Chain A
Amino acid sequence: MNYFPDEVIEQIFESVTSQKDRNAVSLVCKSWYKIERFSRERVFIGNCYAISPERVIERFPGLKSLTLKGKPHFADFNLVPHEWGGFLQPWIEALADGRVGLEELRLKRMIVSDESLELLSRSFPNFKSLVLVSCEGFTTDGLAAIAANCRLLKELDLQENDIDDHRGHWLSCFPESSTSLVSLNFACLKGEINLPALERLVGRSPNLKVLRLNRAVPPDTLQKVLARAPQLVDLGTGSYVLDPDSDTYNKLQATVVKCKSIKSLSGFLEVGPRCLPSIYPILENLTSLNLSYAPGVHGSELIELIRQCVKLQRLWILDCIGDKGLGVVASTCKELQELRVFPSDPFAAGHAFVTEEGLVAISAGCPKLHSLLYFCQQMTNAALITVAKNCPNFIRFRLCILDPTKPDAVTMRPLDEGFGAIVQACKNIRRLSLSGLLTDRVFLYIGMYAEQLEMLSIAFAGDSDNGMLYVLNGCKKLRKLEIRDSPFGNEALLKDVGKYETMRSLWMSSCEVTLGGCKALAKQMPTLNVEIINESDQVEIGVDDEQRVEKMYLYRTLVGKRRDTPEFVWTL
């Protein structure tokens, strides 16, 4: 029963923005459900196979912004065959047919074709924003269609996609009348770029705030572009190889000085020696710095650079910074909230670039740190316990020891106690990735303490089914669980089948679950899709229930078995 007219309630709902809150609001009563569904503009679909596009459109006819995620997370690491699924096409077709006033599309790990991009560009006259993260299946021809047809385009953001680069002409497809660009990121493109077209495009985009270039853009073009866009807030350079004694260098330095608004810096895909001082003028205002694709920036040059980034909140770096370099980060970047340290040479054993020492230094110097991704050579329990004490505010904690079953480097014991300390101290931890030598004990701790945990990644850990059971029983808010190469089997899988309906998905590969176990689960839970991915050529797969399943991915869904499975995927 409503005490206010619908319009007033609608007004109030406008302030309710998070999807979680809107979902809650829609459950209160039929009337609120109705008001909410007609007024919802932003929809987030964490698994594109959990629901059909038609049902989304039917429920939310006012849809303007759609976020879709396709492949499971482990697809990032080549564990999922490319054609597994996550196709955009059916979504675009349904949105076009439904005459949805789509303005924004954000995709992650989906297969996007040029055909889809073409259809997208022609079907939604108000389309403003396209963000593609880790997608594949399209070429620069698809981008040309977007550029040419989306008259009101504000944002084209391509992050780490695998794009077939045909030519640099897509940039010239932005019509001369297009002046609405706010954000353009094509750093992941591998091919040549039409440089004059780029300069003209930037020149006629007075609202441009974000510009991330690819490797093919040389420093002199960068200078010209910056000269036309001193209002930039976020810059990703392309190639930064130039002669420090040249005219170009001086011009570039003079131009950079004028870009007083730049808060986020990335790129430097190629760097020449002694070129970096040209960007020193903007370092003191930076809140975000990504040098994780800049292996050419290292040693004392890197340290000198970091020393000036006193306002940094987010830092993505390569491990060649070393423990000492992390010490400099710790003493300089007091506002640091997010740190990612990537391996510069993942397969070279014996190069101890960063260890537990660097992490401890960071935790001591940066109390505001809440998100961490740390690839390192080794770790100790003592270090993790110290880190937990220094930084009890972790929300995301992902540790990757390059040798996945390495024990505590000093005591040679498992790292159970260290991770246990992390989950016990960090009451708000939502995402956790484990590595190193780990027994069932660490899972006992996680089940006991990680009350807010939503996503857990496990590799080469645990001793028995108990490990997995501790997690499934204890972590009430668990949404995504992904496990590889760990000894968890049918007993753990089948103990509480209802749990999976409260989760988005479960991935298990190279574990102990058998075909029989998966079949039993599928039978008991018709609201789950239990998919077996079988890449071997064995024809006998499917006959022997005792056979271990190499890769299983299960997820809750409202629309049953999907109809686009490739031949190597079998839905039970």
Chain B
Amino acid sequence: MESKAHEKDLNLKATELTLGLPGRDEIIELPNQNKKRGLPVDSKNEEGSTDAKNAQKETPPAKAQMVGWPPIRSYRKNSLQANKNAEGETATGIYVKVSMDGAPYLRKIDLKVYKCYPELLKALEVMFKFTIGQYSEREGYKGSEYAPTYKDKDGDWMLVGDVPWDMFMSSCKKLRIMKGSEARGLGCDV
């Protein structure tokens, strides 16, 4: 934990009142030092989910885990992961590609970061520097030449915003911000 590192700087231990003789250290720390191969992650990660979150912020989630530990068969590990994916609870987020017509390269966003459509659309506006119009069920996105669309599980391109947010999160495979006449085509009543 960060606070422990801070404590070391202040050398609080030296001034701490104890019954032991000064200069004697805890037995616990020595064995860890003997191991030349420490854990790749800071070994003090057993406490609390906050540390896990911090580790995730600093390193990509995959690296926060040691190779081959805990010792569970890959088959079992994959099963667990598949179950968690099925429940939509991956620790690693739901990353989807976002393309914008006319932009030179695509971006990727984590849908789990957003709780609702306005949040997502705002983020897209910021990322690609454009404005999305006002959503209405009847007319789609009015007031701008852009329309946010997504590819669903069946491979169809759908207008963002028609289905409940949770349903969208689990069915969205890819995002595409359509521009111009194509976009207007989607906004028309069919």
Binds B, one of A281-289, A347-355, A445-453: A347-355
Q: Are A77 and B49 in contact (CB under 8 A)?
A: no
> CA A186 – CA B26 in complex, angstroms?
53
**Smallest CB–CB gap between B61 and chain A, Å?**
9
A293 vs B183: C-alpha distance when bound (angstroms): 46
Question: How long is the Cα–Cα vector from A413 to B31 in the complex, in angstroms?
Answer: 11
Assess whether A76 is interfacial by the CB under 8 Å rule: yes
Q: Complex formed: what's the CA distance from A292 to B83 in Å?
A: 12
B13 cross-chain contacts in A, Cβ below 8 A:
none
Q: Is the CB of B28 within 8 A of A134?
A: no
Q: What's the nearest-Cβ distance from chain A to residue B15, in Å?
A: 22
Give the chain B neighbours of A463 by CB distance below 8 A.
31, 34
A460 touches B72 (CB 8 A): no
Is B69 a contact partner of A160 (Cβ separation < 8 A)? no
| Contact B72 A346, beta carbon cutoff 8 Å | yes
Contact with B along A189-205 (1 / 0, CB 8 A): 00000000000000000
Also in contact, A160 and B35, with CB within 8 A (given A375-B70, A437-B28): no
B: number of interface residues (CB 8 Å): 37
Q: Is B134 an interface residue (CB 8 A)?
A: no
B65 CB-CB contact with A under 8 Å? yes
Task: Tell whether A459 pairs with B73 under 8 Å between CB atoms, given A414-B31, A512-B36.
Answer: no
Chain A residues within 8 Å of B70, by CB: 343, 346, 375, 400, 402, 404
Residues of A within 8 A of B83 (CB): 295
Q: Give bound CA distance, A77 to B68, whole Å.
A: 4
A-B contact count (CB 8 A): 107
> A183 within 8 Å of B by Cβ?
no
Q: Decide: A485 near B72, CB < 8 A? Known: A348-B52, A350-B49.
A: no
B73→A400 contact, CB < 8 A? no
Q: Residue of B at shortest CB range from A190?
A: B82
For A295, the chain B residues whose CB sits under 8 A away are: 80, 83
Q: How far, in whole Å, are A400 and B72 apart by their CA atoms in the complex?
A: 10
Separation of A175 and B65 alpha carbons in the complex (Å): 47
Q: Which residue of A lies closest to B68 (CB)?
A: A77
A412 interface residue per 8 A CB criterion: yes
B62–chain A nearest beta-carbon distance, Å: 10
Partner of A349, one of B34, B48, B77: B48
Question: A375 CA to B69 CA in the complex, in Å?
Answer: 11
Q: Which of A343, A484, A510 contacts B72 (CB 8 A)?
A: A343
* Count of chain A residues with a beta carbon within 8 Å of a chain B beta carbon: 49
Q: In the assembled complex, which residues on chain A have CB atoms less than 8 Å from the CB atom of B28?
A: 407, 412-413, 437
* B67: Cβ under 8 A from any A Cβ: yes
List of B residues within 8 angstroms of A511 by Cβ: 37
A536: interface (CB < 8 Å): no
Give the shortest distance, in Å, between B85 (CB) and chain A (any CB).
12
Given contacts A74-B68, A78-B68, contact A405 B39 (CB under 8 A): yes
Tell me the minimal C-beta distance from A528 to chain B in angstroms: 24
A65 in the interface (beta carbon within 8 A) = no
- Interface check A464, CB cutoff 8 A: yes
B105 interface hit (Cβ, 8 Å): no
Q: Which residues of B contact A350 (CB under 8 A)?
A: 46-49, 52
Taking CB atoms and an 8 Å cut-off, the chain B residues in 54-81 that contact chain A are 64-77, 79-80
Which residue on A lies nearest to B82, using beta carbons?
A190
A50 CB to nearest chain B CB (Å)? 24
Decide yes or no whether A487 CB sits under 8 A from chain B: yes
Closest B residue to A548 using CB positions: B36
Which listed residue (B34, B64, B74, B79) contacts A487, Cβ 8 A?
Answer: B34
**CB of A439 within 8 Å of the partner chain:** yes
Contacts of A464 in B (CB 8 A): 34
Contacting pair B46 A349 (CB below 8 A): yes
Report how far A486 CA is from B39 CA in the complex, Å: 11
Residue A162 CB within 8 A of the other chain = yes
Contacts of A413 in B (CB 8 A): 27-28
* Chain B residue with Cβ nearest A510: B37
Question: Within residues 3 to 19 of chain B, which ones have a CB less than 8 A from any CB in chain A?
Answer: none
Bound state CA distance, A74 and B28, in angstroms?
A: 28
A403 in the interface, Cβ–Cβ < 8 Å?
Answer: yes
Interface residues of A in 329-356 (CB under 8 A from B): 342-350
- Chain A residues contacting B127 (CB-CB under 8 Å) are none
A113 to chain B minimum Cβ distance, whole angstroms, is 19
Q: Are B35 and A77 in contact (CB under 8 A)?
A: no
Q: Is the CB of B31 within 8 A of A406?
A: no
Q: Which chain A residues lie closer than 8 Å to B152 at the CB level?
A: none
Most buried by A among B46, B69, B79, B80: B69
Task: Name the contact of B68 in the complex, choosing from A349, A375, A484 (C-beta under 8 A).
Answer: A484
The answer to whether A347 and B65 have CB atoms under 8 Å apart is yes
Residues in chain A within 8 A of chain B (CB atoms): 74, 76-79, 134, 160-162, 188, 270, 292-293, 295, 342-350, 375, 400, 402-407, 412-414, 433, 437, 439, 457, 459-460, 463-464, 484-487, 510-512
Instruction: Supply 19 A–B pairs (Cβ within 8 Å), ascending by A.
Output: A74-B68, A76-B73, A77-B73, A342-B72, A343-B72, A346-B72, A347-B91, A348-B91, A349-B45, A350-B47, A400-B70, A404-B69, A404-B70, A414-B31, A433-B71, A463-B31, A484-B68, A510-B37, A511-B37
- B residues lining the A interface (CB < 8 Å): 26-28, 31-32, 34-37, 39, 43, 45-49, 51-52, 64-77, 79-80, 83, 86, 91
Closest 3 CB pairs of A and B: A77-B68, A403-B46, A160-B75
Query: Besides the contacts A400-B71, A405-B43, A437-B31, what 17 more A-B pairs have beta carbons closer than 8 Å?
Result: A76-B71, A77-B68, A77-B73, A134-B75, A162-B75, A295-B83, A343-B70, A348-B52, A348-B91, A349-B51, A349-B52, A400-B70, A403-B46, A404-B69, A405-B31, A457-B71, A463-B34
